[in-house]
Structure 1
């Protein structure tokens, strides 16, 4: 007998839709059975006419704890994630302090326990003290993050030689290295050339040339060392074309963000600080190239770069556009924005699952537990009613940022229920039950 049986839904995995009923026991999908076949369960959920998707895995989020909890914390960020159908959040290491040592990593794990509404995987940062790597590897972070521009000197690897030497240090570890593509020389040079503080100066400092050069450098370094890498936040036509031509030389994946698929730099004129982040928004031509890459299967993962700031920080006067705190919330709207792409005909539902569930789970070392609906996998499940529409609004946002750049948008489905390891955590847009998210670590 199952603990729970979800009956009547169309199950959507990355491979396509199927008519299955899903039996749940001990936090796992115990069995998928032919629709309508007799099965006994303590609780039967009638999901006839609905869609059943695996919970989403956001591979790039900043939950802001420790040290920056006025912006967000584990509780508020994972609350937003749960309401948005994100049942696993992969948290970046750029808090205060940055998660750079085994001690800091272990402390962060302890901070999260008992306070997270969904499962969380922690990512560690690579510092110039490479002796820390071995101790961090023992704690099985889902990735190590390597930065090539726009970070403190202790974490900056600004040359091809520096990137390659770091990748060599991981040897046969088999872990994943996330690389944010940029070019410190372009950032520094453009800042010297244009001190106006304008939007144009900010765009020039983080140009498509910098992104493309960073992508090429990361791929060449990975190819020379045999290291597995993941390239962050691609969003320019030149970056896409560089990725297209060089991706086959290394074991590499790439991500983009929802905001990069919808907004252009022209939108700074209306949303201003609310859209300011790095990389900056690009031209309409860049957005079209990125959308074509997405629909053509060239993008592996869509992640939010959820990076909230307090409303006071975003609305304060700043001498230069570049000085506005960079980042915006995204966890609560990931599913909705991806459904908008489905509504637009750019992708299909299995593509959504591939880019926001299966691929991030597999790439970040959670692929035997997360990212699909199959026997033995965690019962992280989303019930969507495609007969109802839903709207995104600032008023419903629970992140401490207290807004969304997607305010007022409508999508053609409604998320009605969210399950984490077989237990219902969201019903009709509200959290229910106790907090029982876990820290998850990379599978060996």
Structure 2
């Protein structure tokens, strides 16, 4: 007997779709049955006419705890995720303090225990003091993050040589290594020139810096055999470099939904501070190149870079545009803006699952339990009605930031239910069962 049987829906996986009923037992998918096949269950959900997607896996989010909880915390961030159908978050290490040691990662996990509305895997940062790296890796973080620019010096690997040497050290021991493709030399040179406005901010983080960072990451991975994931690419030049070099090594790349909808021109508007982040938005030509790359399958993962700030922080006056805290919320809106891309026919539903669930789960060591509606996987399931729409408003956002860059957007599709390990945690936009999330770890 099943604990739950979900009937009548169409299953959407990375490799296609099919009609099937889902039998769930002990939090996992126990069977996929032919539509209408007789089966016994303690409870039933009728999903007739609905699309059933695996819960989304966001590979790049900042939950801001510890130390920055005026911006976000584990409860608020995972609540936003649950309401948006993101059932697994991979949390970045740039809190206060940065998560660089086994002690810091253990303390972070202890703070999170019992306070998560969805599952969370933790990512740790590589520092130049890596003496206790083995102890850190024993806690099975889902990635190690290596930064090349715009971060404190102790975490900055700003040349091909130091990146390569660290990847050589990590290649056999570590899970995937995330690399943000910046260029400290360009950033420092631009900072020495006059200008504190938007143009000066853009000048310090040009497509050239991104393209050079991508090339450096791929070449270092090829030299060392390390598994690398390149964070947030969004320029035409960066895509061109990635397309030419990607076969040299085991490297994946991500972008974010906001990179597909906004350009640098939007900084000049009233919401410019809210939209400020890094990498900066690019020109219309770059956006079109990125959309084409997405439709052609050149982008591996779609993540949010959910990075909220308190309203007072974003709205304060700063000496320069570059000084405005960078980042914006994204967990609660990921599914809906991706469904809009499906409606535009830029991608299909299987590509949405591949980009937002299957690929991130596999890349970060969670592929045995997350990212697919398949026997043996966790029963993390979204029930989506494509015959309805969703209107996104600031007032509905659960993040502490209290806004979304997509405010006022009406999107295709409505999320009726969210299941986490077989429990219905969300129904029609309301969180029914809080604190059901668990900490997940990389599995080799």
Shorter-chain TM-score: what band? over 0.9
Show the counterpart of 2:105: 105
- 8 A contact 1:253–1:300 mirrored in 2: yes
Structure 2 equivalent of residue 149 of structure 1? 149
Unaligned runs of 5+ in 2: none
* Residue of structure 2 in register with 1:335 after alignment: 335
Q: Is the 8 A contact 2:196 2:322 kept in 1?
A: yes
Structure 2 equivalent of residue 214 of structure 1: 213
2:87 is aligned to: 87
Deviations 1:235-259 (A, max 9, x none): 0000000000001101000000000
Alignment of 1:16-27 (within 5 A): 16-27=16-27
Report the TM-score when normalising by structure 2.
0.99
Deviation at 1:174, TM superposition (A): 4.9
- 8 Å CA contact 1:197–1:320 kept in 2: the answer is yes
User: Could you say which residue in structure 2 is the equivalent of 1:136?
Assistant: 136
1:357 aligns to what?
357
Aligned match of 1:167: 167
The secondary structure found in structure 2 opposite 1:424 is strand
- The residue that corresponds to 1:236 in the other structure is 235
Q: Indicate the SS of the match to 1:389.
A: strand
The 8 Å contact of residues 61 and 89 in structure 2, kept in 1 or not, is answered as yes
Residue 285 (1) aligns with residue 256 (2)? no
* Residue number in structure 1 paired with 2:259: 260
Q: CA deviation at 1:344?
A: 1.1
Contact 1:92 1:123 in 2 (8 A): yes
> CA contact under 8 A between 1:58 and 1:303: conserved in structure 2?
yes
* 2:426 counterpart of 1:426: yes
Q: Is the 8 A contact 1:59 1:303 kept in 2?
A: yes
Per the TM alignment, residue 319 of structure 1 is displaced from its structure 2 partner at its CA by 1.6
| Paired position in structure 2 for 1:227 | 226
Question: CA–CA distance in 2 between the matches of 1:417 and 1:163?
Answer: 44
The question of whether the paired residues in 2 share the 8 Å contact of 1:176 and 1:229 is answered with: yes
Q: What SS does the corresponding residue of 2:342 show, helix, strand or coil?
A: helix
Aligned positions, number: 443
Give the Cα separation in 2 of the matches to 1:18 and 1:171.
39
Give the match's secondary structure for 1:413. Answer: strand
C-alpha RMSD of matched pairs (Å): 0.7
Q: TM-score, normalised by structure 1?
A: 0.99
Aligned 1:26-425 pairs, distance under 5 A: 26-193=26-193, 195-270=194-269, 271-425=271-425
Cα distance in 2 for partners of 1:306, 1:62 equals 6
- Structure 2 distance, partners of 1:410, 1:39, is 39
Q: CA deviation at 1:132?
A: 2.4
Paired with 1:435 and 1:427, the residues of 2 have a C-alpha distance of 15
